[in-house]
Amino acid sequence: MDAIDSRLETLADRRLDALAEARALPSALRDALRPLATASDFAIETLVRRPALVDARHAMVPPPALDPADPEGAMAALRRWRAAASTVLVARDVDGLDAVDATLAGSTRIAEHALHLGLAQAEAELAPRFGRVRDAEGREQRLVVFALGKLGGGELNFSSDVDLVYAYARGGASDGPRVLDAEPYFVRVGQRLAQLLGDVTADGFSHRVDLRLRPFGDSGRLALSFDAMEAYFQRDGRDWERYAWLKARPVAGDLAAGDRMVEALRPFVYRRYLDFTALDALREMKAMIEAEVARRDMADDLKRGPGGIREVEFLVQALQLIRGGREPALRRRGLLPALSALAAAGHLPEATAQRLAEAYRFLRRVENRVQMLRDAQTYALPDDPLDRLRIARGLAYADAAGLEAALQAHRDVVSAEFAAVLGGPRRGGPEPAVEPLAAYWAALPDAGEPAVLAAAGFADAGAADEALRRLAGSALRRGLSPRAAAWFDRIVPLLLAQAAASTAPDASLMRGIALLTAIGRRSSYFALLAEQPAALERLAQVCAGSALLAERLTEHPLLLDELLDVRAAGPLPDAQAVVRDRAVGLVASDDAEAALLALNERRHSLAFRIGLAWRAGRLDAIGATRALAAVAEGVVGVALGLAEREVARAHGRIAGGGFAVLGYGSIGAEELGFASDLDLVFVHGADPQAVSDGPRPLDAGRYYLRVAQKFVALLDTATPAGKLYDVDARLRPAGAKGLLVVGAAGFAQYQHERAWTWEHQALVRMRPLAGEPSLLAALGALREAVLARPRDPATLAREVADMRERMRRELDRSDEGHLDLKQGRGGLVDLEFLLQHAVLREAGRVPALLSPRHSDDLLAALGDAGLWPIDTVRALRDAHARLVEASLACTLDRRPRRARRGDPQLEAACAAVASAWSTLGPGA
């Protein structure tokens, strides 16, 4: 046995001998306690003072009852209880009963109990002299104790201080013999609470209290009203305080009021927009810590040293602050739940999150063991070789070297991930391709040579130079803060270089300048682009390739998130499911305006991502139109829920029947474009004599009219995130002259008895979208019955051809040089009419034609049924895909849906449709 091993055995024996003097230790019990004696002097000393605890060392110790009349006794009881409860934590950890997560949660619970007990004791001690504080209405007010840091996150280490902030909901005065205003009263309560927990007595201490995180720090008032706190954070709140309050929660006093205050401060912590300013603030905090580490030679510090606990916390909190304003699922106080949420949302690779979680747990376990040794607030492995060996053996390592190697491996993981996420943009000079552009920009607005732009690849260098000079001399540029100006001056040359390398340099630059001008009031967007070169590259590509997407970015800068989001380059999510997943929360929200804004943000975000995927070739044109339709269907479902809720609040509900939204045209066929409106028809299934049961009852017709009107208004309402969709309801029975909402019986009668052939054509693409399931099913069955009824082939062909010719005369914008992709001969509408004619003619004897709505699906069904030759079907499917692709390209480029004649692929597509029209369709 080595000398140090011998010393370790001797030390453990001495500790156990001391315990044996306090109570009998049979050999089996002595052996069972040896790991505890090796790991913790604090635990053995507690057991010596309380020998009865030996047999209950794995059982939680209930909190004591404190006597307000015995302040000294209360302090003693609190300290003895904390020592006993903490010893149980040590024993459970050392004996392998608890994982580190449970130990951290146990330390948190002990602190929470101590704060509850201490606050009640402080209040009771003050009550005889000062009474209780009451507001102007006579309601009792209590201090609110907010926990920040690791206590706030529910992950307190074994021997940590507790970061607290005191506040109170309302002003007032105490009602006792000596009257105090609210603030001095609560200051006294808070001071006494800190003494009860933190003063060192013969029994030690309960918890060290740190109040320096309050507004204005040590120079600030000890207790503030909620109004004063809100005013402080609105006016003087600093970036580091956002990190501190990210974990904040009330832990003692008026918890309900505290929850309200935390919610009120949420916009300070989590910004609505993507917030990369958090990174610069984080780097400043990290630099200060690194300077302290270097100055005090703390490189081995488990908390603050390289690859330590603080780096994991900084990394996770930075990602939370950047995205948490838009993604509530990321607003977790605890680090491990937040890490899991970031991985689940796709902001960290699952493997990275797993490695960080393993490293964090390891670091926290070592930290706990270091502190459990003597209940000391220390964060480094001890220098003493024997103490270091004690820590190593307690963690199942043969020697200290094994522990140190494992520790370094985990720290290396943390350092690498921290550098990858938070290392920041390259701080050296610009890349060679950017250097001349950076020099040119730096010389503006007074100097600079336009020839630099021409050399970079801009066709109209003069126009580009003029636009850039205006930007450099603009009020926007002059009004930026120094930090925002630095970001801005880093961005512009990079944007110039990316635009020059794009497929349309001039268009990309002009659209990029428009975007920079639009986002100038939000410096966080400059931080995003400066911090993320990949986002700048994608921005230039988007501006070069799509006027519509660039316009959407300019109007709604929140969409910049999609340029950066690592998920944007992966598979598209189930768009309808993504919208639907928010439905319950949105519909349940009492804030209709906020719900509508969130729905708009989600709709535009998904549509923008679909546009990016199509431009990048990760999604074909047919897939894009299906995905856009899925987004719209999800939105319709959520908006209908909101509309029904609003109407029900005013007028109650109608029993039976229900409401249905029917999709026609492109939404019904799942062929929606990027700028399409929604062709919708509204039907209700209630008895016309039914009346709603609310305080302001309405008959069924007027009730469901209100639902429809509210629904349309929601889709059409302008919000800061845009509006949802334009609605076209002219396909309802009797068109614009008919009722906006029709009863199910009247709808069925109209379709059977009065509808024109073109209205039955429209039924081919009709699809029930949202509403009462039984009503939707009945309307779907009605559609099939109408489509399947017998028709005279000659009459059908004539009526379909006549309607198509009439539309072509009125709407076709083709000319000698251009083809109208939608209304021109051989265009998309010709193909739609061709398919509708086939369904109306054949569905009675071929039921397989009744289910499909999408043109591609209908073509496949016609081929499978043997009604059309396979070669023709294949040619028409190719033609459809090509026409849709060209049409989408026109929409994204903000051009009319026309193409120059002479494109061989488009000419072939139109020829295929025209040929089928003359051989298989109404023209046969």
pLDDT of residue 298: 65
The tokens describing 538, both together, are 């994608």
According to DSSP, the residues that pair with 140 across neighbouring strands are 134
DSSP lists the bridge partners of residue 900 as 818
Q: H or E element: which one contains 252? A: strand 249-253
Positions of E strands within 674-781: 678-684, 727-728, 741-743, 767-771
Q: What angle do CA 311, 317, 323 make, to 5 degrees?
A: 140
Residue type, 427: R
Q: Which amino acid is at 446?
A: D
Residue 93, both tokens: 């950890």
CB-based contact 894:545 (threshold 8 Å): no
**Which amino acid makes up residue 175?**
D
Q: Give dist(CA 668, CA 200) in Å, integer.
A: 74
Q: Is 487 left (phi over 0), alpha (psi -120 to 50) or beta?
A: alpha
Closest CA to 404 of 388, 390, 386, 387: 388
DSSP state of 820: E
Q: Check residue 564 and give its pLDDT.
A: 62
Q: Given its phi and psi angles, is residue 204 left (phi above 0), alpha (psi -120 to 50 degrees) or beta? A: left
Contact indicator for 664, 658 with CB cutoff of 8 Å: no
Tell me if residue 96 falls in helix, strand or coil: coil
Residue matched to tokens 């927009």: 273
* CB-facing half-sphere around the CA of 62: CA atoms within 13 A: 3
Residue 599 pLDDT: 86
Distance CA 865, CA 859 (A): 10
* Burial (0-12, 13-18, 19+ Cβ within 10 Å), 391: buried
Diameter of the chain measured on Cα atoms:
111
CA distance 589 to 586: 5
User: Which residues make beta-bridge pairs with 141?
Assistant: 133
**Using CA atoms, how far apart are residues 874 and 859, in angstroms rounded to an integer?**
8
| Residue 705, phi then psi, degrees to nearest 5 | -65, -40
Cβ atoms of 273 and 524 closer than 8 Å: yes
Query: Do the beta carbons of residue 639 and residue 597 sit within 8 Å?
Result: no
Query: Tell me, what DSSP letter sits at residue 147?
Result: E
Length reported for the chain? 924
Q: What is the pLDDT of residue 281?
A: 64
Q: How far out from the chain centre does Cα 58 lie?
A: 41
Burial of 261 (0-12, 13-18, 19+ CB in 10 A): buried
Joined tokens for residue 708:
């429809």
Residue 59 carries which DSSP code? S
Cβ(131)–Cβ(177) below 8 Å: yes
What is the reported pLDDT for 291?
A: 66
Our CA dihedral for 613, 619, 623, 627, rounded to 10 degrees, sits at -20
Angle at 676 between CA 675 and CA 677, to 5 degrees: 125
Q: How far apart are CA 298 and CA 306, in angstroms?
A: 9
Show the DSSP H helices in 383-522 as ranges.
385-394, 400-422, 435-443, 451-456, 461-472, 475-478, 482-500, 505-518
Pairing of strands 223-225, 678-684: unpaired
Backbone φ and ψ of 145, nearest 5°:
-100, 115
CA distance 536 to 532: 7
* pLDDT, position 584: 46
- Cis before 793 (ω within 30): no
Is the CB of residue 390 less than 8 Å from the CB of residue 39? yes
Which long-range CB contacts under 8 A does 445-448 form with residues at least 24 apart? 445/469, 445/470, 445/472, 445/473
Separation between Cα atoms, residue 827 and residue 831, nearest integer Å: 7
Amino acid at 598: A
Low-confidence ranges of the chain (pLDDT < 50): 425-430, 432, 566-567, 582-584
Give pLDDT, residue 796.
93
Q: Spell out the alpha helix ranges (H) of 765-899.
A: 773-788, 793-811, 828-842, 855-864, 870-892
DSSP assignment of 701-720, as one string?
HHHHHHHHHHHHHHHH--BT
